[in-house]
Structures are given as structure tokens and as C-alpha cells.
């Protein structure tokens, strides 16, 4: 349930993440009536600015395309309970001033009930000092929760170190680690799709499924973010967290219950069956200038000659009775031909019998941009012959649920944190096992095991490196005739 009298403190309030995601999500929740009674929002960051400037920034990404006066009025109300404090991230007296500000708000509540939710929209370099300062200066037992965002380290060792330091200040049940893919509607639907449909769940294994692809495509490069990106690369940015989370929900066994711990136990269990990724199961790319767009290395914030991959395809294997031998191809890239995130499950061939050329069945779960699920089936072409044709049974959300509001991932996750529900947040042992799977290839790519591999070039705006099709075929993928 929602706790009355909650102060939500957004640290890093002048940054991009807060501006683009956190404040719009908080506003969205407010508008839909999902913020607790007596809520107050406090922005905190180093930048000195007055309240007018803060409100301007915090609402700059809130959409009101038709100038709807009702939304405009809501935005004004939202500003009415949002305040700002500036201060350093290292200095404890600044955090004491923040506490004073929070206590002043709480003193107005007229009841002893009060709760604090800290949201760290911060660069990793200040995670620890902020977590420590909050714990030492702004903490009162049983009323606090803290939301943190990736990156959680750069490999297994650095993640353990970071988690260890955070744990000195914040307990696991107070900590909410965001992977915003877990808040996406389609990802949340996986539990229902998989476990509430016998028709699907009975063929959900190595006997029926040939191969699975989980694909992330973005049509823009790292423009302006090259400095950050170059240190991490596409695997740490997308595969190790977002796509692996999707994989774990797609492949885990049915949890004992829908409680957070039961779900996360199953996710950890399936990921523990995945061996570290092999170099030969990896394909890396980097975009080059094309179609009037700059190459990765043209970005001034990127070091010259960087071999950082902006594209990666990696194949994972799950050594358990359900999935042994089924390749799971995780692929992600920047500066591609389209924006698309989807899961594509390709079934095995039917035994030929009376059929000559017959396409495979495929189940596609489109996570974004147009949320949909479609199943490719073979059917007889109507008429007096026996020709077959692959067709799509299509559930496009816009058509089937035309009135529904599909929540933003961050709306859904912040609401979960306000309710104290950890189901869609990443537990410490999930991170550990995720890094174990990726650390060896990351060290290879980082040049820690000899000369680093050279990524294959691909033109900005293309489908990725041209070697990709052969890479996927190697794992048994067969094109069906329409895509």
C-alpha cells in the first residue's frame, strides 16, 4: 500500500536522468492519482538555482502537446509541492541542511507518520559518498527507502566492491536497484503470458523451440554521451542488464508465488545455469559515418582509435533440462536503421510429411515501440487447392487495448518502490550472477587478456555489421518469409 506523508528526495535533480525520466514519471503518477497523500518532492544537486529555475527544469520534459488546461493546472499543482536544495555530495553539513529542509516539511504533517524515499539519479563516482551521507545525516529507522540506478560496477569484482560499500549503509530490503526494462509493460506481461496459458507453456522448451533472439535497436548514436559510453560499451549499457533481465524472465521456472523473493529466486536459479559467454559466441561492431551522420570515432568526446563496441551480439546457453542446446542470441546496437526492442522465439521445423517448404512458427513479443505480440502460423490458402501461407495472429496493443494508457517504465517502478514491492527490482545476487556471465568477454574486449578485438564496422543507419546474418544462421535461425 502507499504510505501517507512521504517525502521523495531526488538526488542529481539537475541532471539528465532526473529531467527526462524521474520528474516526468513522478508527475505522471501524480496526474493519475498514484502519489501518496501528503507527498512532497525535494530536488537536490550541486547546481545553485532558485525555485523558478528548478521548476522549469523539472517540468521541461513533461508533455502537454495540446496545451490542455487540465494538464497545465496539474503541472502547477505539482510545482506547488516540489522544492529544491543545492549542496555538495561529499560534505556532511550540506546533508544536514537537506535533513532540516525535510524535517520542516514533515513538521507540517500534523501526524507522526512520515516516510522518505531517496532516488539517486547520480553518476557512479558519487554513489558511495551520497549513500553514506544520507545514511549518516538523513536517516531515521523504518521510514527510508533508496532507489539506485546502474551502472553497478564494471565487472564482477567492481560490482561486489560497490555493493559491499552500499551495504554498509543501506540494508537489502531498503534498497531498490532499478533496471527500467523490468518496468516495461510487455516485460511485466511475460509472467502472465507464460504461466497463464497452457497453449504457450507446454511448448516452452528445447523440444519445441529452435532458437531465441532478444534484440535492442536504437536509431541514434552516442552523440554527446560518448565520454560516458566509451568507458562502458554496449554490453554494459544494454546486454548485461536490460537484455539479461528479459532473458531471465523469459526462461525461469514458474515461481512458487508472485512474491518478490520467489520471483527473484527463480531468476537467479536460471541465470546460474548460464556459463560465461565464449569469445566465439560473440560478434562486435562499431558504427562508421554514413548517410550524412558521423561515425562513433567522429564524436569528440570519444578517444581516438577507440575499439569500444557500439554493437554486440552474444549467444548464451542455459544448461538445464528445459533449455539445454537452445541458443539465446542477445543483440543490441546504437545508430541502427530503426528503434525496436523485441523477443523472437523461433520454433523447430515440423516433420515434413506432406509438406515441402513450410515456414517455421515464430512468436514475436514486441517490447517497443508498438507493443504487440504476434504468432506466425501456417495456414491453408482458402480455395480449391492445398497451398499454404504463413500468416500472423496479431495482438497489437493499440488495436486491442485502444483506450489503455501504457505506463512509462519509470512510473511503474517508482510506484512499486513507494509500495515497497521489490519484484521488479534487481537483487544483489542477480547482479553477481549477471556479471559472472559477462565478465570474461568484457575483460577480453577491455584488452586485459591481450590485444583487444577490433569491432566490425557498420554504417550509421544500417542493420548492423554485415556478418550478422551468418552469425545468426550459425545458431540455426532460418528466415521465415515475412519479417
Our answer to whether residue 55 is catalytic in this structure is: no
| Contact status, residue 350 vs residue 388, Cβ threshold 8 Å | no
Catalytic choice (55, 180, 242, 422): 242
| Contact status, residue 301 vs residue 226, Cβ threshold 8 Å | yes
In the complex, what is the shortest distance from the CB of residue 397 to ligand BG6, in angstroms, rounded to a whole number? 16
Q: Specify the residue, 132 or 184, whose C-beta has the smaller distance to ligand BG6.
A: 184
In the complex, what is the shortest distance from the CB of residue 147 to ligand BG6, in angstroms, rounded to a whole number? 15
In the complex, what is the shortest distance from the CB of residue 180 to ligand BG6, in angstroms, rounded to a whole number? 6
| Contact status, residue 297 vs residue 306, Cβ threshold 8 Å | yes
Q: Specify the residue, 212 or 367, whose C-beta has the smaller distance to ligand BG6.
A: 367
Helix (H, G, I), strand (E, B) or coil at 266: helix
The site string for ligand BG6 over 139-178 (x = CB under 6 A, - otherwise) reads ----------------------------------------
Region 389-408 residues binding ligand BG6, contact defined as CB under 6 A: none
Closest CA to 337 of 422, 256, 434, 218: 218
In the complex, what is the shortest distance from the CB of residue 149 to ligand BG6, in angstroms, rounded to a whole number? 8
185 binds ligand BG6 (CB under 6 A): no
Separation between Cα atoms, residue 184 and residue 239, nearest integer Å: 16
Q: Specify the residue, 268 or 409, whose C-beta has the smaller distance to ligand BG6.
A: 409
Separation between Cα atoms, residue 464 and residue 313, nearest integer Å: 10
Q: Specify the residue, 36 or 183, whose C-beta has the smaller distance to ligand BG6.
A: 183
Q: How far is CA 194 from CA 188, 231, 238, 263, 273, in A?
A: 11, 37, 24, 13, 20
Cα distance between the two ends of the chain: 44
The site string for ligand BG6 over 326-355 (x = CB under 6 A, - otherwise) reads ---------------x--------------
Total site size for ligand BG6, rule CB under 6 A:
4
| Contact status, residue 298 vs residue 289, Cβ threshold 8 Å | yes
The site string for ligand BG6 over 209-228 (x = CB under 6 A, - otherwise) reads ---------x----------
| Contact status, residue 396 vs residue 372, Cβ threshold 8 Å | yes
Whose CB is nearest to ligand BG6? 237
In the complex, what is the shortest distance from the CB of residue 413 to ligand BG6, in angstroms, rounded to a whole number? 12
- 463: burial class by Cβ within 10 Å (0-12, 13-18, 19+)? middle
| Contact status, residue 196 vs residue 321, Cβ threshold 8 Å | no
Q: Specify the residue, 274 or 341, whose C-beta has the smaller distance to ligand BG6.
A: 341
Separation between Cα atoms, residue 45 and residue 98, nearest integer Å: 11
Of 237, 266, 371, 430, the one binding ligand BG6 by CB under 6 A:
237
Q: Specify the residue, 220 or 355, whose C-beta has the smaller distance to ligand BG6.
A: 220
Cα–chain-centroid distance for residue 21? 13
Contact positions toward ligand BG6, by CB under 6 A?
A: 180, 218, 237, 341
Positions marked catalytic: 242
Amino acid at each position: 500500500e502507499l504510505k501517507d506523508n512521504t517525502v521523495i528526495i531526488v538526488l542529481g535533480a539537475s541532471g539528465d536522468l532526473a529531467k527526462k525520466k524521474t520528474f516526468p514519471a513522478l508527475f505522471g503518477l501524480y496526474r493519475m492519482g498514484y502519489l501518496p497523500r501528503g507527498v512532497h518532492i525535494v530536488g537536490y544537486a550541486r547546481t545553485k538555482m532558485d525555485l523558478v529555475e528548478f521548476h522549469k527544469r523539472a517540468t521541461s520534459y513533461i508533455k502537454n502537446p495540446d496545451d490542455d488546461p487540465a494538464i497545465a493546472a496539474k503541472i502547477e499543482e505539482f510545482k506547488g509541492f516540489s522544492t529544491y536544495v543545492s549542496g555538495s555530495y561529499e560534505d556532511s553539513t550540506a546533508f544536514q541542511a537537506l535533513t532540516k529542509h525535510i524535517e520542516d516539511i514533515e513538521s507540517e504533517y500534523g501526524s507522526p507518520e512520515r516516510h522518505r524515499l531517496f532516488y539517486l539519479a547520480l553518476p557512479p563516482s558519487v554513489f558511495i559518498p551520497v549513500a553514506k551521507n544520507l545514511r549518516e545525516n538523513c536517516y531515521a529507522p523504518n521510514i527510508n527507502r533508496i532507489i539506485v540506478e546502474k551502472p553497478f560496477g564494471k565487472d564482477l569484482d567492481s560490482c561486489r566492491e560497490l555493493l559491499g560499500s552500499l551495504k554498509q549503509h543501506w540494508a537489502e530490503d531498503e534498497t531498490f536497484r532499478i533496471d527500467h526494462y523490468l518496468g516495461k509493460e510487455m516485460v511485466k506481461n511475460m509472467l502472465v503470458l507464460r504461466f497463464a496459458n497452457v497453449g504457450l507453456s507446454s511448448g516452452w522448451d528445447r523440444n519445441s523451440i529452435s532458437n531465441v533472439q532478444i534484440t535492442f535497436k536504437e536509431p541514434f548514436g552516442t552523440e554527446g554521451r560518448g565520454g560516458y559510453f566509451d568507458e562502458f560499451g554496449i554490453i554494459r549499457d544494454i546486454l548485461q542488464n536490460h537484455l539479461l533481465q528479459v532473458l531471465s524472465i523469459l526462461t525461469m521456472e514458474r515461481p512458487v508465488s508472485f512474491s518478490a523473493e520467489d520471483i527473484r529466486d527463480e531468476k537467479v536459479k536460471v541465470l546460474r545455469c548460464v556459463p560465461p559467454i565464449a569469445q566465439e559466441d560473440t560478434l562486435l561492431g562499431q558504427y562508421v559515418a554514413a548517410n550524412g551522420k558521423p561515425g562513433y570515432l567522429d564524436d569528440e568526446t570519444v578517444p581516438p582509435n577507440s575499439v569500444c563496441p557500439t554493437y554486440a551480439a552474444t549467444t548464451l546457453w542455459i544448461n538445464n533440462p528445459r533449455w539445454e542446446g537452445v541458443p539465446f542470441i542477445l543483440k543490441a546496437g546504437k545508430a541502427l536503421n530503426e528503434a525496436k526492442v523485441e523477443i523472437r522465439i523461433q520454433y523447430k521445423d515440423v516433420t515434413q510429411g506432406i509438406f515441402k517448404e513450410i515456414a517455421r512458427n515464430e512468436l514475436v513479443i514486441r517490447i517497443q515501440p508498438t507493443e504487440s505480440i504476434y504468432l506466425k502460423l501456417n495456414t491453408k490458402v482458402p480455395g480449391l487447392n492445398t497451398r499454404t501461407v504463413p500468416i500472423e495472429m496479431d495482438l497489437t496493443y493499440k488495436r486491442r487495448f485502444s483506450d489503455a494508457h501504457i505506463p512509462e517504465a519509470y512510473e511503474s517502478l517508482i510506484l512499486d518502490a513507494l509500495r515497497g514491492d521489490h519484484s521488479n527490482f534487481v537483487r544483489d545476487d542477480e547482479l553477481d550472477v549477471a556479471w559472472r556471465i559477462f565478465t570474461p568477454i568484457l575483460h577480453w574486449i577491455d584488452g586485459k587478456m591481450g590485444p583487444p578485438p577490433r569491432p566490425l564496422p557498420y554504417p550509421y543507419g544500417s542493420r548492423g555489421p554485415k556478418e550478422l546474418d551468418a552469425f545468426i544462421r550459425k545458431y540455426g535461425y532460418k528466415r521465415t518469409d515475412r519479417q
